[in-house]
Amino acid sequence: MKAYVVEKYGKDGLRAAQVPEPAVGDRDVLVRVHATSVNPLDRMVRDGEFKRLLNYKTPFVLGHDVAGVVTRVGPAVRGVEVGDEVYARPRDLRIGGFAEYIAIDQDDVAPKPASLTFQEAAAVPLVALAAWQILVDRAGVKPGQKVLVHAGAGGLGSTVVQLAKHLGATVAATASTAKQDLVRSLGADVVVDYTKEDFSKVLSGYDVALDSLGGENLEKSLTVLKPGGLAIGVTGPPDAAFAEQLGAPAFLGVAMKLLSRKVRKQAKALGVRYEFFFMRANGSQLRELGALYDKGELRPVIDRTFPFDRTLDAMAHVEQGRAKAGKVVVSIVPEDDLPRV
């Protein structure tokens, strides 16, 4: 089958290749991939940024999002059948969405939302799971609380804005001038144009801040939180809990703790908290999220769709910051490009 594999770590390490169809374990479902999407995490894994924690052996197939049709199931699989339309974010060390087929643990898949095309569904799993795990599992957002979302028009930000609003929060988001209307249409109550205003000068009293930029932006985010508020970073710096989540050796936990020492110290001085976030695969949460998409409470935001043979162009489009809003999708089964009637 055709796939895009990381032959070596680094910017030029991803290439098209013919690889064997994946083996199907007892608890696995084999999925014919109709569409996938590109995430910043794909670049980070390709470049080896997590190689001390996620021990991928090159060559390996890249890709963290999948939407497709089940073509085979393992003998221990229950509740998933051949012919089912599914979507998934395969668990770490078992990724491989940039391929014609992928074997996925049954616990990681969920029925594709009926209201979404395969391309739309492929834009959802990673960012939707991240939004749920940040807002519900980690922050426990309640109605009436205030949530700040940076890069509100991005793939993750656009999803977090919608889910936070669904949970009853008052939502502020940062976005460029051209993206103000989009972010408001997603549910943001306050939109700060970062090209004209410093968000830390106009916002205050927030319960949660989601930072996807790091550095000075993260440090400023701490200052807009109310006492006891929580800043969550998705680009770092990592903390000891991240190493523990991945089952890394103790010495790496110590290293992660040192990397986040500065920002944690700043947070403590302000009476707030900082935590690093790295999402995990969860098919049952995708079922709940799928229902929200089918009810119209959430909607995918797609910047552009590339054909499978232009996967490297899709990666470059994201990596070079050319995506205007939402996710970049790769269509693997061409007939799915036809408009839905």
Q: Please provide residue 36's backbone torsions phi and psi, each rounded to the nearest 5 degrees.
A: -140, 180
Mean pLDDT of 160-165: 98
> At 338, is the pLDDT very low, low, confident or very high (cuts 50, 70, 90)?
very low
Query: Bigger pLDDT: 214 or 192?
Result: 192
Tell me which fold the domain 126-276 belongs to.
Rossmann fold (3.40.50)
Q: Which residues of 164-192 are buried (b: 16+ CB within 10 A; e: fewer)?
A: bbbbebbbbbbbbeebbebbbebbbebbb
Tell me the domain boundaries of the chain: 2-124+300-337, 126-276
Q: How far is CA 20 from CA 3, 23, 117, 148, 208, in A?
A: 9, 9, 28, 45, 45
The pLDDT assigned to 185 comes to 97
C-alpha span between 36 and 51 (Å, rounded): 23
Confidence of residue 195 (pLDDT cuts 50, 70, 90): very high
Whether the pLDDT of residue 337 is over 60: the answer is no
| Residue 52 confidence (pLDDT) | 81
pTM: 0.94
To the nearest whole percent, how much of the chain has pLDDT over 90? 85
Residue carrying the six token digits 């903390």:
239
- Please report the pLDDT score of residue 290 as a whole number: 98
For 71-91, what is each residue's pLDDT tens digit? 999 999 999 999 999 999 999
- In this predicted structure, what is the pLDDT of residue 247? 74
Q: Which residues contact 29 (CB under 8 A, 6 or more apart)?
A: 70, 72, 73, 74, 77, 80, 86, 103, 104, 106, 109
Mean pLDDT over each residue of the chain, to the nearest integer:
94
Question: Is 333 in a helix, a strand, or coil?
Answer: coil
Q: Render pLDDT for 270-316 as a digit per residue (tens, 0 to 9).
A: 999 999 999 999 999 999 999 999 999 999 999 999 999 999 999 99
Tell me the angle at which helices 250-259 and 261-270 cross, rounded to the nearest 10 degrees: 60
Percent with pLDDT over 70 in the chain: 96
Residues 227, 186: Cα–Cα separation, whole Å? 28
Task: For the domain covering 2-124+300-337, report its CATH number.
Answer: 3.90.180.10
For 87-134, the pLDDT digits (tens) are 999 999 999 999 999 999 999 999 999 999 999 999 999 999 999 999
What sign for the dihedral angle of Cα 134, 142, 213, 128? Answer: positive
User: Closest by alpha carbon to 164, among 192, 180, 183?
Assistant: 183
User: What is the torsional sign of CA 266, 207, 257, 41?
Assistant: negative
